[in-house]
Amino acid sequence: MGNKQVPEIRFNGFGLKWESRKIGDLVTDIRRPLKMVDDKNYQLVTVKRRNGGIISRGVYKGSEVLVKSQFTIKADDFLISKRQVVHGANEMVPESLDGAIVSNEYLVLNGTKDLNIEFLALLSKLPEGYRLYFLSSYGVDIEKLVFDVQDWKKRIISIPSIQEQNQIVSFIKEMNNTISLCEQELTTLKQTKQGFLQKMFPKEGESVPDIRFPGFPGDWKQRKFQDFTKLSQGLQISIDKRHLVPGEYRVFYITNEFLNPNSNRRYYIESPSKSVLAEKEDILMTRTGNTGKIVTNVEGAFHNNFFRIAYYNNETAQLFLYYLLNSLPVQKEILVRAGTSTIPDLNHNDFYKIKVNIPSLEEQRKIGNFFKQLDDTIAHHQQELETLKQTKKAFLQKMFV
C-alpha cells in the first residue's frame, strides 16, 4: 500500500522489502451453504460500521428467517458487509459467534499460505484500506454504494513475509487484550461508584444510608434545597446568533459539551456579566431537555439551559452537594418535577421544594472526599485507556507501509 516498501517500525530480524501482491492472490473465498430447517434455531449477525465489530442480530427459528439463502461462518473468518464496507463494516469473527449465519450480502474470507487473514483485517482499518474499498465501490450515493468484489481483488497491497505478518498480528492482539482489560476495569469502577451512590445516601423514606463511615451515629436531617442553595440561570442568547458573535468567553450550550470536553463546538460572546460566568468550583445542572445532568469544574459563560447551584450557608460541603445531586433519589425527584412534556423543564420553585437528607458537615466532607477520590481513580483509568488506544493507533500507522 502506497509507494513505500518498508514500514517505519519493524521487529528485529526482518529486513526485506514488503512485496506488492494482488488481493485476489492472497485470499480464499469461503462458502458454507446452509440447508435451513424451519424448527431449528439460528443466530444471525451483522457487522457494525466504523469498525464496530460483529454483533448478534438475535436467534431465530428457520421459519422466521425471510432470506433462506444463508451461509455458516466460523471463528477466525474475515467477514465483510458488501453494503457497508466503505463505512468500515468488516471484522474477524469472534469465538462467541462461531456457527452463526449470514446471507450472501456478506463476503467471507480466509487467508492463504502467504497471508495471515488477521493481517488483512488490521490493514482494512487503516486509511489506505478504506480507500481501496471505496475505489472498488460504485454508485452516486455514499449510503448506497455497491461493492465490486472482483475489482477489489485486483487491487494491490504490500505485505511482508508470513512470519512478519504473524509477529505484527500477535503484537496488536496483545495490545487489544491490554485495552480490553483496561476497559473492563473502568467499567467495574464506574459500576462501583453507582453502587456506592445508592448505598451511601438514604433511600426514599429513610433517614440513614446503608453504608456509613464509622463514628457518625444518628439520623440525617431532612431539608429542602431552598434551605441551603441558591439558583441562578445563564445567558438568554439567540440560537441563530450565538455563533456569529466573537468574544473571549466560551458558552456552554448543550449537555454533550460537558460529556465530551474535547468537543469542537464553541460559542463565544463579548463581555458577559459575572452572574453568567461559571467558575471552577461552581455546580451546573441542565434544567431543560436532558434535565438533571450535573457538572462541575467548568469555566466559562453558560446558557440559560442550565442552573448554577450555589450553597449559601456553612452547613453544606460543596463536594457533598455535587454527589448528593447525582444520587438516585434526588435524580428521580428532579425528573418527576421536570415533567413529562416533549421538552422537560425544571423551574426554580420546584427544585427548591425537593426534600433531601443531609448529615453533619464533617460526615459530608468524608463522603465528598471519598467520591472525589473514586472519580480521580476513574479519570486516571480513562486517561490510561485513551493513551493505550492512541499508542495502538500510532503503531498501526507506523507498522504498515
pLDDT tens across 175-198, in order?
999 999 999 999 999 999 999 999
CATH class name, domain 19-159:
alpha beta
Same topology, domains 19-159 and 221-358? Answer is yes
Helix (H, G, I), strand (E, B) or coil at 7: coil
Percent pLDDT > 70 in the chain is 88
pLDDT tens across 226-284, in order?
999 999 887 665 544 444 344 445 555 544 444 444 444 444 455 555 556 777 778 88
pLDDT score at 340: 80
Better-predicted residue by pLDDT, 32 or 142:
32
pLDDT score at 144: 87
pLDDT tens across 37-72, in order?
999 999 999 999 999 999 999 999 999 999 999 999
Please check whether residue 63 is in contact with residue 72, taking contact to mean a CB–CB distance below 8 angstroms: no
Position of cell 427459528? 61
pLDDT tens across 118-129, in order?
999 999 999 999
Please check whether residue 300 is in contact with residue 325, taking contact to mean a CB–CB distance below 8 angstroms: no
Better-predicted residue by pLDDT, 340 or 346:
346
| Domain boundaries of the chain, sorted by first residue | 19-159, 221-358
Tell me the CATH number of domain 221-358, given options 3.40.50.2300, 3.20.20.140, 3.90.1150.10, 3.90.220.20: 3.90.220.20
Q: Which of 121, 157, 119, 173 is nearest to 18 (CA)?
A: 157
What b/e sequence results for 377-390 when a residue is b if at least 16 CB atoms lie within 10 Å of its CB, and e otherwise?
Answer: ebeebeeebeebee
Q: What is the three-state SS of 52-93?
A: CCEEEEEEEEHHHCCCCCEEECCCCCEEEECCCHHHCCEEEC
Helix (H, G, I), strand (E, B) or coil at 212: coil
Percent pLDDT > 90 in the chain is 73
pLDDT score at 237: 56
Please check whether residue 358 is in contact with residue 316, taking contact to mean a CB–CB distance below 8 angstroms: yes
Mean pLDDT of the residues in the chain: 88
pLDDT score at 279: 75
pTM of the model: 0.82
Q: Strands, DSSP E only, in 105-228? A: 106-110, 137-138, 146-147, 156-159, 221-224
For the CA atoms of 210, 211, 212, 213, the dihedral, rounded to the nearest 10 degrees, stands at 170
